[in-house]
Structure formats: C-alpha cells, structure tokens
C-alpha cells in the first residue's frame, strides 16, 4: 500500500458520511441558507457543502492528532490485507457518494430504482469492510507490542 494515511483519511470521511448522510446534507443546507443562498432539501449543493464541511472536520482531527486510528505496523501481512479491505470499502462508499450526487439526473424510474438499491447495499457493505479492515490493521500493531513484552 503506497499511501496508507490517505486510505485511512478517506475511510474516516466515508464512514461518517455514510452513517450521517442526511445530517451532513442538512448541515450544508443550513449553511447555504445562513448565507442567503436558496437551497432545497437534499439537493446537490447542500450535499457538496456538507461534504466539504465534513472533509474539513476530519482534516482538523488529523491535524491535531497527527494521525488517524488505527495505526498498524507496515510490512505485516495483516496491515496490507487490512488496507486492501479498507480500500474496497472506500470504493463502495465512493459509489454511494457519487450516486447521491447524480441521482436527480437519472430520469428512468427502473434504472434509478436498481441503482438506488445497489448503492444502499454498498453503504452497508462498506461499513463491514471498514470494520474488518480496521481490525486487521489494529492486529498488525498488536504483534509488535507482544514482541516488546
């Protein structure tokens, strides 16, 4: 894994966004309305502004902590496997994120229905991939701690 910190950063962004998708959108909508910009509930600008605010929030945590958990031991098999699982979760969450942005442009009812069901399933799957991937990354650091003791 070339950029494990980027993978973890994206995972934390997508975890919070997937779980609190409606709240993130509502936060963006409230900010737009505070700036006197007309916003409709659930529209794309609200989602984008909410995602930017969430991105900034995750970055602030990264800046003050200097890293995001879990912190594993590079070179371990569990570390690499865990990051691959997290990467799969990131890709699935990205599909859900992109679908939410383009859902209003899909005019065919059946296409929209199928894509909506698939991306909803991706949201549940990505959380599972994040949990298992984080577990493997965490386990890679446990072996180093056992060797020290």
Residue 76: per-residue pLDDT: 81
Residue 113: per-residue pLDDT: 93
For residue 32, say if its preceding peptide bond is cis, omega within 30 degrees of 0: no
Cα of 120 vs its chain's centroid, Å = 14
32 Cβ neighbours under 8 A, 6+ residues apart:
38, 39, 45, 46, 49
Closest CA to 4 of 97, 95, 60, 67: 67
Residue 149: per-residue pLDDT: 64
What values do phi and psi take at 98, rounded to 5? -65, -40
The list of the chain residues with pLDDT below 50 reads none
* Average pLDDT over the chain, rounded to an integer: 90
Looking at the whole model, is its pTM more than 0.85?
yes
pLDDT digits 0-9 by tens, 5-17 = 999 999 999 999 9
Residue 144: per-residue pLDDT: 64
Residue 131: per-residue pLDDT: 95
Residue 145: per-residue pLDDT: 66
Angle at 47 between CA 46 and CA 48, to 5 degrees: 95
Residue 67: per-residue pLDDT: 86
Residue 19: per-residue pLDDT: 93
């Amino acid at each position: 894994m070339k950029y494990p910190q980027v993978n973890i950063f994206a995972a934390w962004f997508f975890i919070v966004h997937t779980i609190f998708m409606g709240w993130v959108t509502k936060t963006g909508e409230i900010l737009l309305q505070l700036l006197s910009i007309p916003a409709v509930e659930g529209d794309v600008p609200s989602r984008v502004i909410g995602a930017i605010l969430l991105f900034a929030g995750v970055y602030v945590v990264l800046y003050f902590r200097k890293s995001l958990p879990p912190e594993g031991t590079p070179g371990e098999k569990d570390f690499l496997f865990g990051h691959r699982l997290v990467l799969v979760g990131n890709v699935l969450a990205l599909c859900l994120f992109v679908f939410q942005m383009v859902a209003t442009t899909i005019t065919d009812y059946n296409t929209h229905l199928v894509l909506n069901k698939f991306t909803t399933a991706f949201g549940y799957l990505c959380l599972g991939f994040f949990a298992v991937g984080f577990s493997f990354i965490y386990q890679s650091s446990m072996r180093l701690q056992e060797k020290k003791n």
